[in-house]
Amino acid sequence: MRVKTQDGSEGAKALTCGLAIARASQTECLKGMFGAPILRPIMTKAAQTDFREAPLYTATEAAHYLRVPASTVRAWAFGQGQRKDGGRKFKPVIALASRQGRLLSFINLVELFVLTAIRRRHGVALPQVRKALDYLKKSFPSLHPLADHEFQTNGVDLFAKKFGEYLNLSRDGQIEIKELIEARLRCVMRDEAGIPLKLYLSPRADNERGIVVIDPRLGFGRPVIEGTGIRTEVIVGRFSAGETIDSIADDYGRSRAEIEEIVRSELPLAA
């Protein structure tokens, strides 16, 4: 390939020089056994960023997936109340993937998923949640303590106890909180390093995992049918268009109960 230089002449030399500079900026030169150069790709910033930390979801989307009011997600993620100086009276309880863009990551979803277990059973004010999490971070220093594997193995008892104290709950009440959190954590599949990999939504009454899962590697991080990669919104779209549960179930090789579970998971949350 030949290119034109600034003076109009053709020359492969300019191109060769440009390519050499490009390679040098993208690779490290190492010495091999016999002194021969070995080129190794440099890890870029984008490659170093875990896809589970990528900003993917708006507060409205997260609220829809987790079946909680959007106002609750906004309060936990962005803080609550407005001071005269423009700041927030109560700080957020999770560290957002993108505070400027007000977007949440998959790890943020896991954190909120755990918190929703408490909210559904106990009327919890934001300052109480904040206090309990601040206490937890002292023992488990992590940017996302509720999603941390160490929390699942050693921190639930501590969090439930301290949270129960803030709510003036009895010992039985603290045990209930612990069981609610543990049930939610069983819906989180982790990789070998203990980092959340999948989140199973709509846990059933028996605390078993459902078939609707969020996997940031599939469907752009939107809910899909476990093991298929088929987005649940496609199923619901067909149902909303007038197709029957039975016909959809036949097309996808699923049971009627499973399709009903998918449709329920996507129905708008009642006000």
| Residue 3: pLDDT over 90 | no
Helix (H, G, I), strand (E, B) or coil at 98: strand
pLDDT band for position 237 (cuts 50, 70, 90): very high
Say whether both 223 and 130 belong to one domain. Answer: no
Say whether both 94 and 146 belong to one domain. Answer: yes
pLDDT at 7: 47
Say whether both 68 and 166 belong to one domain. Answer: yes
Angle at 103 between CA 99 and CA 105, to 5 degrees: 105
pLDDT at 193: 86
Domain of residue 92, residue span: 53-185
| Per-residue pLDDT tens over the stretch 66-99 | 988 898 899 888 887 666 666 556 788 888 877 7
113 to 101, 182, 256: CA distances (angstroms): 21, 12, 27
191 within a domain of the structure (yes/no) = no
| Residue 171: pLDDT over 80 | no
Contact 27, 41 (CB under 8 A): yes
pLDDT at 223: 93
Number of compact structural domains in the chain: 3
pLDDT, the chain, mean:
74
Residue range 111-132: average pLDDT?
Answer: 73
pLDDT at 229: 85
Helices (H) and strands (E) in the chain — how many of each? 12, 10
Query: pTM score, two decimals?
Result: 0.71
Say whether both 9 and 108 belong to one domain. Answer: no
Tokens read off for 176: 């209930």
Residue 151 is given by DSSP the state: I
Say whether both 175 and 61 belong to one domain. Answer: yes
| Per-residue pLDDT tens over the stretch 176-204 | 778 888 888 888 999 988 889 999 986 55
Residue 155 is given by DSSP the state: I
pLDDT at 121: 59
pLDDT at 42: 34
pLDDT at 271: 43
Say whether both 68 and 164 belong to one domain. Answer: yes
180 vs 183: CA distance, rounded Å: 5
Residues contacting 175, CB < 8 A, separation 6+: 160
Say whether both 108 and 214 belong to one domain. Answer: no
**Nearest-CA neighbor of 89 among 35, 130, 146?**
130
Say whether both 21 and 101 belong to one domain. Answer: no
Tokens read off for 126: 């934001």
Q: β-strand 88-90 against 80-82: which pairing, if any? A: antiparallel
48 within a domain of the structure (yes/no) = no
pLDDT at 240: 92
| Per-residue pLDDT tens over the stretch 53-67 | 898 999 999 999 998
Strand segments, DSSP code E, in the chain are 3-4, 10-11, 27-31, 37-41, 80-82, 88-90, 188-190, 196-200, 212-214, 224-225
